[in-house]
A and B are shown apart, each in its own frame.
Chain A
Amino acid sequence: MKLLKVTLGVMTAIGGFVDIGNLVTSGISGARFGLTLVWALALGTLGMIVYGEMAGRVTAVSKRTVFHVVRDRLGVRFALVNLVASIALTMLTLAAELGGVGLAMELASSVNYLLWVPVAGFAVWFTIWRVPFQWMERILGLLGLALVVFVVALFHLPTDWHALGSDIVHPKPPASESMATWLFYAVSLVGAALVPFQLFFFSSGGIEEDWSSEDLGEMRANAFIGFPLGAVLSLAIMAAAVPVLAPVGIGGRHLGEVGLPAVVALGKVGLAFAIVGFFAATFAAAVEAALSTGYVAAQHYGWDWGKFVKPREAARFHVVCLLGVIAATALTLTTIDPVQLTLVSVVLGTAAIPLTFFPILVIANDREYMGDRANGRFANLLGVTCFAISVITSLAAVPLLIITRAGQ
């Protein structure tokens, strides 16, 4: 029974790893750069694993989320900057995910995505309002596993495995692309794998699911097995684009193009799986982003929060979530290009990663909080290494965004 629960959790983590950021950045980089940027995806995933484990451990041991402790440990001004940055970025991401849900529905129905966006916004809000946390996580996570179709597609396509392997071990931009553009997509892949709000969400989810020290094994299985396998789905989307999109010069800048390899390989069935996977991945991330706006606000100001209490017992939390969904829906409805919005939000997100890492690293080292579950040497070595890398990518993010005009 325990094993079943852990397996289910891991499968949920795999399906839940991918969101609009991964779909867009993997699709474009596969189409334009082959697998020369796999290192960036790997770096981002490593950061997500290391800091996800830390955030989860803090939550399980102290029964407090990481954002809860930011103000207490790092002061009211740092916490306020962190709060404002987190909410702004999470809203951008939410808008991008809603656009993604709309595009997935457009692929299925041929009805313009803009008509689907308000429906998606309402469905996201309703899920927050009424659907129990575990149901929401499990159903959407498992549906997200439909993206395995891209792994299957790889074996049906004329995949040149040798060339793919060669790309991975020779990371440099192809002759037709500039170094700046290549690095821009590298930063975007890091940011897609490592979305700051997902760490706050993972930590808050631990409270929603009532983790304790006994659940550390299950939490670690999610982080150590679920996240890397989730990244494998991203990798498959990237690799499947190489034999299909690159030869004909399709840039992967539309969700339909990202799904094309599945259609070429497996026909209608491939298309169906791809659409279900796109929908589940973006819808789950939209719900998580919307909840995260409420989580961080409530944890900063010390309100009651969460789906484990009825909405009327966490009125301020639910009002923030509702306002977040309305604002993000409005942003998407301005007809801003969802793919462009996704790229901007993941790259700005990369710039904010150190702001998220720093408090987690501090709290995971606090023995008063963590007792003998505080970071050991190995966790700190990895943590500090990832932090240093995140500072470098953070500094590079905005200049690259401007120089390349968001990867044009």
Chain B
Amino acid sequence: MSSREPLPHEPLELPPTADANSLLLDRQLYDADGHAIGKVDDLELSDPADGPPVVTALLCGPTALGPRIGDTVGTLWFELGRLLRPGHDPYPDRIPMSDVIVLNRTEIRVRGVPDSFGARRVERWLRTNIIERIPGSS
């Protein structure tokens, strides 16, 4: 499948042909400030009537990763992720492809990651409830 979508701002340098599996899946994600925000756990595809499917978003979190692991372990990981999500909504965190600003072999950098992003909520909860209560955390 092709992920050569035109992006609104900085143009991305992409190899002439690439498959999403080697280019996107499990790649490290950073926000615009360089903070790690997780890995690309799955992809969201849309299937327009007039053409091949396109990647519309990168998906993150256990509810995206669980089904890719499969079997009992994958199901458990999916369910754990679902329980931790607001309203137990199983749909994973998504990053629209239009928010991707850097995409290369070692990283994907994106802008506009909201504070409600699952990985950020977990990090924030552990920071406030455990790490910051121990003297010398900053």
Stretch from A2-10, A18-26, A298-306 forming part of the interface with B = A298-306
Q: How many A-B residue pairs have CB under 8 A?
A: 70
Is the C-beta of B49 less than 8 angstroms from some C-beta in chain A?
A: no
**CB distance B136 to A130 under 8 Å?**
yes
**CB distance A301 to B39 under 8 Å?**
yes
**How distant is the Cα of A266 from the Cα of B127 in the complex, in angstroms?**
51
Is the C-beta of A316 less than 8 angstroms from some C-beta in chain B?
A: yes
Which residues of the partner chain A approach B70 to less than 8 Å between Cβ atoms? 77
Is the C-beta of A407 less than 8 angstroms from some C-beta in chain B?
A: no
**CB distance A72 to B119 under 8 Å?**
no
Contacts of A349-394 to chain B: CB distance below 8 A: 368-369
Contacts of A300-325 to chain B: CB distance below 8 A: 301-305, 310-312, 315-316, 318-319, 322
**How distant is the Cα of A312 from the Cα of B127 in the complex, in angstroms?**
6
Which of A68, A77, A129, A316 is close to B28, meaning CB atoms less than 8 Å apart? A68
B107 nearest CB neighbor, chain A only: A64
Is the C-beta of A71 less than 8 angstroms from some C-beta in chain B?
A: yes
Task: Tell me how far the C-beta of B89 lies from the nearest C-beta in chain A, rounded to whole angstroms.
Answer: 21
Which of A62, A72, A312 is close to B132, meaning CB atoms less than 8 Å apart? A312
**How distant is the Cα of A284 from the Cα of B103 in the complex, in angstroms?**
38
Which residues of the partner chain B approach A304 to less than 8 Å between Cβ atoms? 35-36, 123
B36 nearest CB neighbor, chain A only: A304
Which residues of the partner chain A approach B25 to less than 8 Å between Cβ atoms? 72
Proximity string of chain A (333-353) to chain B, C-beta cutoff 8 Å, 1 when within and 0 when not: 000000000000000000000
**CB distance B28 to A319 under 8 Å?**
no
**How distant is the Cα of A315 from the Cα of B129 in the complex, in angstroms?**
10
Which of B105, B126, B132, B138 is close to A316, meaning CB atoms less than 8 Å apart? B126
**How distant is the Cα of A345 from the Cα of B56 in the complex, in angstroms?**
46
B28 nearest CB neighbor, chain A only: A302
Proximity string of chain A (73-114) to chain B, C-beta cutoff 8 Å, 1 when within and 0 when not: 001110110000000000000000000000000000000000
**CB distance B69 to A312 under 8 Å?**
no
Is the C-beta of A63 less than 8 angstroms from some C-beta in chain B?
A: yes
Contacts of B32-53 to chain A: CB distance below 8 A: 35-39
Which of A63, A71, A129 is close to B26, meaning CB atoms less than 8 Å apart? A71
**Given contact pairs A64-B106, A302-B28, A319-B126, A312 touches B38 in the complex (Cβ within 8 A):** no
For the A-B complex with A72-B26, A304-B123 known, give 15 more contacts whose Cβ atoms are closer than 8 Å: A63-B106, A76-B26, A302-B37, A302-B39, A304-B35, A304-B36, A311-B131, A311-B134, A311-B136, A311-B137, A312-B132, A315-B126, A319-B131, A369-B105, A369-B106
- What are the 4 tightest A-B residue pairs by CB atom distance, in nearest-first order? A302-B39, A315-B127, A315-B126, A302-B38
Chain B positions within 8 Å of A, measured between CB atoms, are 25-29, 35-39, 65, 68-70, 73, 105-106, 119, 122-124, 126-127, 130-132, 134, 136-138
A-B contact pairs, 11 of them (CB 8 A): A71-B26, A72-B39, A79-B26, A129-B136, A304-B123, A310-B138, A311-B134, A311-B138, A315-B130, A316-B122, A368-B105
